[in-house]
């Protein structure tokens, strides 16, 4: 597996959709935070959207599954669903690791 | 649950359920589509006369397009479909919906790979919808050996409707069957339906019992002499009459007399023409002194002409039902039924006619059917299949006598009245049918008889 180190200037905007403080959502947030610290250095921002508070935001990003992580920047848009417990899959999904 | 193959009309049934709910019952609805964008859907149903944007603007209907792209989604670990619930809940609250459509929820199986999670979540979703007290129409693609591809009917247990679209002999027919409807005694047969400008139409169910009121009221056949043969007072109102005879015996002329008489009484009539155009028919009838055009102008007479082969039997039946519903006639003529019989098997035609006659009888509409028979030898056999449905059967035939071919009329049967057993000869003159008259003898014959 080859690591593709993020370019220094690249800014990562991530959005995590959750629905309340369920175990899955808490786990997803913890997993995400750990992963970002390890792989993205300081170049990232995480926005957590609780759909229980803002249900109108669900359709914009076509959210069905909870939790869903959306990579808004850098493009293209990526979606990762689940509690992000499978780190390798998350890295693949975020294009931090190339398949192969 | 509404299931059926591609193009069977599932989405249409679903959207009509919402539109009718919003416009006629003040029940707002949510349409969650997994297949078509809002624009596509709007364009599709506009052809049916549904103004979706207006309903959306008036907050009667909300459409939520759920787009699924598997390539965009990576699955890592445990998830649920909480987002779907939240979206649906939000949409329901925004219009206070009591009706919900999910079209086609099975698309989820394409978007997500974990079927186990999906099944659990769908079961939860259906329970959730039920607990909220909304009526939900869920569409599903028909599977092999199962009603839906992913067996969703197991979760949706209240009612299952199966739509079918098939082509027999190059004629397409749509059929609808209620597979299951909890807490009701439902019809179990397949019922034909059509989709047209006014949406989806299912044919009324054939009445299970024979319970229509038999009228004592009589209506004139349009010919005094024929009325005299029918116990002196003509047909019973609401009865069905068959006129059969070979080509040129005057079936249409007799039917025209009947219609003319009904219009004279100020009653509305619908005349279904399957061989001629209305203008041709009216021209022909003018030549025997019947001005049907006048009745058309007065709005009493409606023609409905169609080539039978153009549509399936069911479509004809639906079209006829629609005309009858629109015009609310006292009398109906179908001229001739042979053209209909050419489309289907005798059994299918009989069932179709039975449905039509049932409907007409319950509505107390007198119905006259003409039937073309091949020749004198067959004049009774060809019609035996349908004659049992008829209350009165008139037979027209040529009588060959003294070097002339005269037309004769005979009442083969007429339920509930003492009818004549005489073969009455008649003439078609420029003043209409002259029953009981003899043809004036030609000069040579006169000479001989002297």
Percent of chain A with pLDDT over 70: 88
DSSP E strands in B109-231: the ranges are 135-141, 159-168, 171-181, 190-196, 199-202, 218-219
Nearest CA distance, B146 vs chain A (angstrom): 27
Interface residue B68 vs chain A (CB under 8 A): yes
To which H or E segment does residue B42 belong?
helix B38-46
DSSP E strands in B182-264: the ranges are 190-196, 199-202, 218-219, 235-236, 240-245
Q: Which residue has the higher pLDDT, B357 or B256?
A: B256
Round the average pLDDT of chain B to a whole number and report it: 83
Confidence of residue A52 (pLDDT cuts 50, 70, 90): very high
| pLDDT for position A2 | 47
Mean pLDDT of B182-190: 79
Dihedral sign for Cα atoms in the order B4, B5, B8, B11:
positive
The pTM is what? 0.66
Nearest CA distance, B154 vs chain A (angstrom): 23
B141-155, B209-223, B226-240, B385-399 — most confident range: B226-240
Nearest CA distance, B91 vs chain A (angstrom): 9
Residue of B35, B83, B91 to mutate when probing chain A, most A C-beta within 10 A:
B83
| pLDDT for position A98 | 58
The minimal CB distance from A19 to the residues B68, B77, B86 is found for B86
Structure tokens at B127: 């329970």
Q: Which residue has the higher pLDDT, B46 or B201?
A: B46
CB pairs under 8 A between A and B: 96
Contacts of A66 in chain B (CB under 8 A): 79-83, 86
| pLDDT for position A16 | 93
**Residues B92, A96 contacting (CB under 8 angstroms):** no
Query: Which value, in Å, is the radius of gyration of the alpha carbons in chain B?
Result: 29
Residue of B69, B78, B92, B111 to mutate when probing chain A, most A C-beta within 10 A:
B78
Q: Kindly state the DSSP code that residue B212 receives in the 8-state scheme.
A: P
Residue of B74, B90, B122, B124 to mutate when probing chain A, most A C-beta within 10 A:
B74
CB contact under 8 A, B83 and A92: no
CB contact under 8 A, B76 and A79: no
| pLDDT for position B169 | 62
Nearest CA distance, A18 vs chain B (angstrom): 8
Query: Which value, in Å, is the radius of gyration of the alpha carbons in chain A?
Result: 13
Lowest mean pLDDT among B266-275, B330-339, B368-377: B368-377
**Residues B177, B190 contacting (CB under 8 angstroms):** yes
Mean pLDDT of B322-334: 89
Round the average pLDDT of chain A to a whole number and report it: 83
Mean pLDDT of B431-435: 83
Is B332 a residue whose pLDDT tops 90? yes
Confidence of residue B206 (pLDDT cuts 50, 70, 90): low
Is A1 a residue whose pLDDT tops 60? no
Interface residue A19 vs chain B (CB under 8 A): yes
| pLDDT for position B384 | 60
CB contact under 8 A, A65 and B77: no
The span from the CA of A56 to the CA of B87, in Å, is: 7
Is B171 a residue whose pLDDT tops 70? no
Which CATH topology does A11-98 take? Glutaredoxin (3.40.30)
**Residues B164, B5 contacting (CB under 8 angstroms):** yes
- The chain A residue lying nearest B77, using CA atoms, is A82
SS3 state at B255: helix
- B396 CB-contact burial (10 Å; exposed 0-12 / middle 13-18 / buried 19+): buried
The pLDDT tens digits of the residues spanning B100-115 come to: 999 888 888 888 888 8
Of B253, B231, B268, nearest to B366 (Cα)? B268
Interface residue A26 vs chain B (CB under 8 A): no
ipTM confidence: 0.85
Is B291 a residue whose pLDDT tops 70? yes
The span from the CA of B394 to the CA of B245, in Å, is: 9
The span from the CA of B301 to the CA of B294, in Å, is: 9
| pLDDT for position B309 | 66
Domains of chain B: 2-202 (3.40.50.300), 218-449 (3.40.50.300)
Torsion of CA B432, B437, B438, B440, to 10 degrees: -60
The minimal CB distance from A79 to the residues B64, B74, B108 is found for B74
Interface residue A97 vs chain B (CB under 8 A): no
| pLDDT for position B296 | 92
CB contact under 8 A, B75 and A78: no
- The chain A residue lying nearest B112, using CA atoms, is A65
């Amino acid at each position: 597996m080859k690591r593709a180190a993020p370019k220094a200037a690249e800014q990562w905007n991530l959005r995590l959709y959750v629905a309340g403080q369920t175990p899955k959502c808490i786990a997803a947030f913890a997993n995400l935070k750990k992963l970002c610290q390890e792989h993205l250095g300081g170049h990232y921002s995480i926005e957590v959207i609780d759909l229980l508070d803002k249900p109108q935001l669900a359709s914009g990003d076509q959210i069905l599954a909870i939790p869903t992580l959306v990579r808004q920047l850098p493009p293209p848009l990526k979606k990762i669903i689940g509690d992000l417990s499978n780190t390798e899959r998350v890295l693949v999904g975020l294009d931090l690791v190339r398949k192969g | 649950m509404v299931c059926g193959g591609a193009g069977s009309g599932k989405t249409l049934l679903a959207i009509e359920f919402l539109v009718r709910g919003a416009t006629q019952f003040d029940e707002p609805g949510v349409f969650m589509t997994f297949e078509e964008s809002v624009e596509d859907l709007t364009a599709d149903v506009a052809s049916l006369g549904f103004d979706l944007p207006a309903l959306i603007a008036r907050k009667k209907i909300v459409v939520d397009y759920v787009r699924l792209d598997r390539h965009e989604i990576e699955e890592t670990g445990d998830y649920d479909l909480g987002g779907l619930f939240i979206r649906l809940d939000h949409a329901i609250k925004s219009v206070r919906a009591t009706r919900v459509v999910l079209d086609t929820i099975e698309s989820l199986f394409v978007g997500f790979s974990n079927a186990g999670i999906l099944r659990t979540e769908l079961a939860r979703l259906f329970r959730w919808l039920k607990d909220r007290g909304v009526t939900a129409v869920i569409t599903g693609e028909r599977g092999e050996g199962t009603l839906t591809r992913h067996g969703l009917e197991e979760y949706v247990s209240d009612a299952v409707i199966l739509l079918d679209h098939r082509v027999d002999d190059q004629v397409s027919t749509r059929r609808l069957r209620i597979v299951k409807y909890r807490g009701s005694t439902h019809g179990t047969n397949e019922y034909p339906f059509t989709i047209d400008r006014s949406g989806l139409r299912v044919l009324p169910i054939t009445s299970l019992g024979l319970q229509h009121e038999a009228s004592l009221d009589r209506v004139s056949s349009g010919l005094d002499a024929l009325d005299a043969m029918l116990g002196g007072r003509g047909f019973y109102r609401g009865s069905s009459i068959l006129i059969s005879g070979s080509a040129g015996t005057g079936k249409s002329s007799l039917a025209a007399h009947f219609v003319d008489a009904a219009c004279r009484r100020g009653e509305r009539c619908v005349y279904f023409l399957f061989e001629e155009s209305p203008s041709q028919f009216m021209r022909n009838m003018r030549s025997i002194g019947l001005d049907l055009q006048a009745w058309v102008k007065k709005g009493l007479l409606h023609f409905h002409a169609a080539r039978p082969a153009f549509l399936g039997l069911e479509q004809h039946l639906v079209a006829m039902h629609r005309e009858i519903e629109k015009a609310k006639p006292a009398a109906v003529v179908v001229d001739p039924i042979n053209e209909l019989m050419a489309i289907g098997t005798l059994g299918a035609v009989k069932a179709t006619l039975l449905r039509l006659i049932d409907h007409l009888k319950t509505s107390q509409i007198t119905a006259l059917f003409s039937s073309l028979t091949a020749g004198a030898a067959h004049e009774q056999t060809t019609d035996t299949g349908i004659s049992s449905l008829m209350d009165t059967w008139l037979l027209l035939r040529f009588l060959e006598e003294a070097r002339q071919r005269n037309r004769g009329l005979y009442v083969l049967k007429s339920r509930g009245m003492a009818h004549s057993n005489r073969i009455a000869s008649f003439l078609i003159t420029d003043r209409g049918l002259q029953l009981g008259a003899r043809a004036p003898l030609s000069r040579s014959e006169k000479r001989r008889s002297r």
